[in-house]
Amino acid sequence: MDVLPMFPLGSPLLPGQPLPLQVFEPRYLAMLRDVASGDGRFGVVLIERGFEVGGGDARFSVGCAARIEQARAMPDGRVRLLARGRERVEVVRWLPDDPYPRAEVRRLPDLAWSEEHTALLAGSERTVRRALTVMSEYRSQVWSADIALSDDPITRAWQLACIAPLGALDQLELLRSSSIDELLETTARLTAEALELLPLQRPDGSG
């Protein structure tokens, strides 16, 4: 069992995903000081109900540990932070928010890869890249369809989950995957479903 400072956010964090933050609340500035003096790790969970600022939120229990890669103090007291998702964690017990959220967590098992998953990875990647290409015609995209991905297959699978044009709850479903098959199949399915719904989002309602 591990105790981590926790950062509830409006979107989940996936393994390997970059996490840029601007921290200004006093409780999270205090958290960063403690994290920086330790191993640089904190947890990120998706807010179920409530808001990032002010506290009083309800939180999902599955999240991701992150490690700080860069931090820069700004003249106005804010801190610009770049962290990156590492291992998946599950909250066993929330501790008092004193002065910031903390929780007892357990690490979730890493996903296992074998060569039989190669075709599934390639198919999921085709679906995600096609969706990014099509959706770029409707709205600006955070990720380009030709973005370079890792040669490591597990890392690549999580990167596809990260860049897939999905909402927070869909990404949370991916984060909960218990196998590489489930991660890749669910990424492809949810992405295909999002692509099917895209014509309904056009201003003129046409396909």
**Same domain? 102 vs 122:** no
**Same domain? 91 vs 168:** no
| Last residue in a domain, options 86, 107, 128 | 107
pTM of the model: 0.87
**Same domain? 122 vs 138:** yes
**What one-letter code names the amino acid at 51?**
F
Q: Which tokens belong to 163?
A: 């860049």
Is position 62 within any domain? yes
Give residue-wise pLDDT tens across range 80-138.
999 999 999 999 999 988 899 999 999 999 999 999 999 999 999 999 999 999 988 87
**Same domain? 121 vs 50:** no
Is position 59 within any domain? yes
**Which domain range does residue 30 map to?**
2-107
* Residues facing 20 on adjacent strands: 82
**Same domain? 97 vs 126:** no
Question: How far, in Å, CA of 60 to CA of 170, rounded?
Answer: 13
Give residue-wise pLDDT tens across range 149-162.
999 999 999 999 99
User: What would the DSSP string read from start to end of 126-177?
Assistant: HHHHHHHHHHTTTS--SS-TT----SSHHHHHHHHHHHSS--HHHHHHHHT-
* Residues facing 80 on adjacent strands: 22, 72
Q: Element (H or E) spanning 186, and its range? A: helix 180-197
| CB contact at 8 A, 21 and 123 | no
**What one-letter code names the amino acid at 161?**
A
**Same domain? 14 vs 95:** yes
Count how many domains the chain has: 2
